[in-house]
Amino acid sequence: MRVYYGKAVYNNKEINAAIKVLKKKLIKQVTLITPNIPEAEILSGIKIKDKKDMISAAKELIKIGAKNVLIKGGHLKSRNVEDIFLNKFEFKVFISTRYNTKNTHGTGCTLSSAITTFFSCGKSIKRACELGIKYVNSAIFTNPKLGKGHGPINHLNSMKIKKRFI
């Protein structure tokens, strides 16, 4: 079986080898992993249908060596989005409003970058996750509604621009 990611084509053997390296070596070396639901399912081996399953998957990821886990709940069908943060000492559910928009392109990359920024400024990892989630939610809510497909979020949502550009 062949799997397509972007323009690259991989077979299951290559994917399984990459997942093994990720689980055996890389996860143990980072401060935080931020998988979405499909990624968390692959890494944990747990089918995720609800918040309880997300917690189980996060616990499994801690068992295999993750220091901190933030499973993003945007793929679940629910009124609100619930993101699960877990480490060996702390547990937190971040609840956010789900906005009815297709303009969510880049949210995962933006979230991990925002968390990294807040963490590098001295915030605790849990607080950095909370602030990153708030930033991304504001960026989704204020998205510029560009294009006809899955458009971008508003990365400038926290800036006030006094000059008007025409």
- Annotated catalytic residues are 72, 104, 106-109
Whole-angstrom distance, CA of residue 107 vs CA of residue 99 = 13
- Give the residues across from 3 on adjacent strands: 10
Whole-angstrom distance, CA of residue 39 vs CA of residue 44 = 9
CA distances from 31 to 9, 92, 95, 124, 129 (A): 30, 17, 22, 11, 12
Decide: helix, strand or coil at residue 102: coil
Angle ∠(147,34,30) on CA atoms, nearest 5: 130
The alpha carbons of the chain give a radius of gyration, in whole angstroms, of 17
Whole-angstrom distance, CA of residue 125 vs CA of residue 30 = 12
Cβ neighbors of 53 (< 8 A, separation 6 or more) are 46, 47
